[in-house]
Amino acid sequence: MKKPYRTLAAAVVLACVVLSLAVPAGLAAAGQNDQSQDYTLDELRQGGEQVSQLNPSKRRVGRLTSVSLLNYPTGPMSDFGGSDFKFLTPSTTVQRDRVMLYVNTYERNPSNLTVHKVYWEEGSQTVVRNGTKVEVPAAVNVTETTEEVAVSGDSETLVPVHLTSHYDDEVEVTMWVEGDRSNARWRFAHQTSETMRPVNLETAGAATWWGLTTFLFPAVFGVVIGWPIGYLLQETMLVGPMKDRRWWMKIGAAGGFVAIFVLWDGLASLLISLGPVTGIITFALTLGVVLDNESSVRKVLLRQLMTGDGIQEQDDVRALRTTQVKGQLARVIEHDGDHYLVAKGARRAFARAIAGAAKIEDWDRIEDNIPTSGGSSYAEEIHLDPRVDEPLDIVLPQINIAFPATEDITPKYIGRVALGSIAAVGIGAMVSWTAWGTPSYGWLALAPVFGALVIRPNNPRVRFEPASTMQMQAETRNTLLARDYAEGETNDELRRRNQKLEGQAQAERVELENERRKTATDEVLRSRGADPEAVGESEREAWKSARDEDKEADDEEERSS
């Protein structure tokens, strides 16, 4: 981030923080006055006894009747026909001039209900104690209205209860259902939304101003803040030809901020429920250190000898190629007079989108050394095969997100993290105040944006260099040793196989000899009138010995003659 952007960011953050703190404080300090009241502060603070874990607004009215209080939230979506209700809780601020009573009764002839509504503000009053004036907490600006609501004979009835309009200040409301055995009592806050104000000559200006501040100004605010954030995102995250996507990032960032205001109701609930998780992710992202791209030149010296038809053995020493991209294509893209290398394939898509492309140094020097194919400069496909007499080193783009080392945590880095944290909290507080009327968890919506601003991948450059004689000699030696080792393993395997086959052949020869001798013995026994099957093993051995002796005698006689 350049210094002008830092100054602008600091000014925006300071303004947002001041506004987010000053405006709610002014609202809280709005005028109060002392008036007499018919109820004590302790009485009005009572919100009734909850009788259901699933429904926090459910109360008992007698033995056979229960009553729940429902609230219809106001907002850009619900104002135009939305009807999703929520059970009213003590922390709810009702923005409509009515709430709904959901009556569930088992009485055959249920009577109508009388509802008391007391509007009040918490303040103080002066009393005299022991001759001294002291300020004590008290309910001020107390007004009371009653309303009778009709309950039908059905088991379930939904009837409205009207509230007095309060446009300027938020008031507390204590409401209960009259009855001897009634425990139906609620407490909530009420401030009428400007969308409910009747428009006439006196209120037209206020209604117009409310529309501008609620819809138009937040939208403009989202675009104004989202645009520079999108610009900083593309400047920080993207390099080289990937910057052509800058317009999409700006529009996306601006649209995201506008969406916060349009969908604030559901988004607020989601962020509150995921608040700790989002905070942990943000903290982890802030640990990413901003690396200097100029110091990220990387080279890979892994090469192997080329083999194949047409390559002579004596030429293998010089016919080297890179193993990083052997058997695949890479892409060279021209952008603003520079050339960048990106790899093809789905697995590299994420790396290209985040880390961009690796810049090729000294392109003019090596351009003639690389055969290219492709019709346009933006879609050149090259086989990274260098000239035979000048092998090259190559590295493909890669993401290298590192945690800061001790020497990297400098005052400049700490200031960047602190500025980003203040920006996330301050701008988020302003956003949440605009949307909900008070600072809340809305700042968590900016947590991923802040994390993306702080972290930056280390995008390497590519340098093509001729391999030195020592590198070529070392590579050749290692390759030859590997070949000798592989050939040695092959010879040992053949010797082991030959020995195994020799053993099997010897066993087969012995088995054949034994079979031949058995057949000859059987023939001798038959010639002398004996049955070979009836002759025992001892007699067979005797016959075999006699036959062998006769054979030796015949052989001796033959040799003598």
What pLDDT score does 113 carry?
86
DSSP 8-state symbol, 203: T
- The stretch 441-461 carries a mean pLDDT of 47
**Selected residue with higher pLDDT from 485 and 395:** 485
How confident is the model at residue 438, as a pLDDT? 41
How, if at all, do strands 156-162 and 98-105 pair? antiparallel
- Among residues of the chain, what percentage have pLDDT more than 70? 35
Span 519-539, mean pLDDT?
A: 73
User: In this predicted structure, what is the pLDDT of residue 356?
Assistant: 46
Whether residue 404 is predicted with pLDDT greater than 70 in this model: the reply is no
Q: Give, to the nearest 10 degrees, the angle between helix 537-560 and helix 469-527.
A: 100
Q: What is the pLDDT of residues 314-326, one digit of tens each?
A: 333 333 333 333 3
**Residue labelled with tokens 């009515």:** 98
CB 457 within 8 A of CB 400: yes
**pLDDT, mean of residues 481-492:** 69
Is residue 147's pLDDT more than 70?
A: yes
Res 26: pLDDT = 37
Give pLDDT, residue 210: 57
| Range name among 28-32, 447-451, 494-498 with the lowest pLDDT average | 28-32
Q: Which tokens sit at 444?
A: 């968590």
Position 118 pLDDT exceeds 70:
yes
188 three-state secondary structure: strand
Digit-coded pLDDT (tens) for 331-352: 555 666 666 655 444 334 444 4
**How large is the average pLDDT for residues 425-432?**
54
Judged against a pLDDT cut of 70, whether residue 466 lies above it is answered with no
When the pLDDT of each residue in the chain is averaged and rounded to a whole number, the result is 60
H/E run at residue 331: strand 330-335
Q: What is the DSSP letter of 508?
A: H
- Grade residue 389 by pLDDT with cuts at 50, 70 and 90: very low
Q: 140 by DSSP, 3-state: which?
A: strand
Nearest C-alpha neighbor of 70 from the set 91, 88, 89, 94 = 88
The band of 428, judged by pLDDT with boundaries at 50, 70 and 90, is low
Q: What is the pLDDT of residues 237-269, one digit of tens each?
A: 444 444 445 555 555 555 665 555 555 544 544
Residue 94: half-sphere exposure toward Cβ, Cα within 13 Å = 32
pLDDT class of 119 with cuts at 50, 70, 90: very high
- The pLDDT assigned to 298 comes to 34
